Amino acid sequence: MLRTVVATLGFLGLVQASVAPQTISLQSRVAPQGMSLKRRALNPVTVPLADFFLGTDLQWFGNMTVGTPPQTISVVFDTGSSSLEFASTLCATCSHQVQFNPNKSSTFRDGGRTSSITFATGVGVDPVVGPNYRLTLRSATDTVSVGGLSAPNTALFLITDQTPTFNIDPFSGIQGLSHLEIIIARNSDYWFGIRKGMSARAQGFFAGLVNQGLPSLFSMYLTPNAVGNAELTLGGTDTTKFTGTPIFASLASTGGTWELTSPRLSVNGKTNSILTQSRTIIFDSGTSNVLFSTDTAEAIYALISPDIKPNPNEPGTYGIACNRISSLPAVIDIAFTSQNGTPFNLTIPSSELSVGPFANDPSTCQTLINAFDGLELVGGSLLKHWYSIWDIQNRRLGFAPAKL
């Protein structure tokens, strides 16, 4: 899911106090015989993911635990988001999800700060319209664990209210895995303030693991529902899940999003003047399908079939008679350039063209690209055909054909 708005309330500022200089005596630390002062690295862990499937693959999600004693909640591991938020017992509108109870955790600390988030892409394949994907949150910290790796004093948000669009979710929340998760962690004083009983060293979950020695990369194997066995590997890669050698491309942005520059799109081996314009494309594991600007979406559809038309009942969507979908060639190639200057394509096969019938017209199937001016983004429709490596330290994305 791609986050667009973070509206904050009740910010607690920091006041610097003047203090007299002091002299502190220091002495070197001597390691006991046979011991090393070198920070021990954490080993990578692999977390199984379930596929939320409603006729098409929507989201992949897995379990984490929060609190002491640990309470299990499920989250989408979302490269389009930057923080951890999940349903809580403070939320009267979250009854459809498992809710975290902060009163049952001895390590829970309330941050006392409220905020709201509006998402630009939602859980399913329908376009987001206005603030219909919106969460109301309260800041906090607690111990968070995934796959046996634990990060104490993790910055998080409790969901205290949510719009009805989240009611279909079988998972409780979202764990952001964007670059901004690290940026926020390094500026936790700004994000959370300092309150009685709360440490100013609160940080994001993944940043907390990296600070303990976990390599700063993760990998995703987001498989189609029919294949199953999807997984997330924190701190490494699973070489049994792809073929060949991964190709890496440098990120196009210095901000928090995972973006690559693409010089060309082609459909069934053909292109046109609109599709050969350079563009920056966001990779978002929390989005189901593909978003392009209106002119790009229509240029792609023109090379597939002139009968793919906009659906006026759901602005931004397109569709065609369901009985025609299987006969349409619709191979979409998105070109990129590797770090060594070699061109390569990431391909979305024809099988992804349909994302299911429209609710208001079951004879017409929605096609995979939504029009969204100002945003170019690929999600699960592409990622479930490629093993992806998200390398934070080296600011790059890697891809290899997934074993399906």
User: Which residues are part of the catalytic machinery?
Assistant: 78, 284
Residues facing 402 on adjacent strands = 242
Nearest CA to 281 out of 330, 341, 346, 233 is that of 346
Element housing 302 (H / E): helix 294-302
Distance CA 214, CA 235 (A): 6
Q: Which two tokens stand for residue 371?
A: 């029009």
* C-beta neighbour count of 77 within 10 angstroms: 25
The distance of Cα 267 from the centroid of its chain, to the nearest Å, equals 27
Q: Are 98 and 86 in contact (CB under 8 A)?
A: no
DSSP 126-144: SPP-TTSSEEEEEEEEEEE
Nearest CA to 138 out of 62, 83, 181 is that of 83
DSSP state of 383: H
Mapping DSSP to helix (H, G, I), strand (E, B) and coil, where does residue 114 land? strand
The distance of Cα 125 from the centroid of its chain, to the nearest Å, equals 16
* C-beta neighbour count of 256 within 10 angstroms: 18
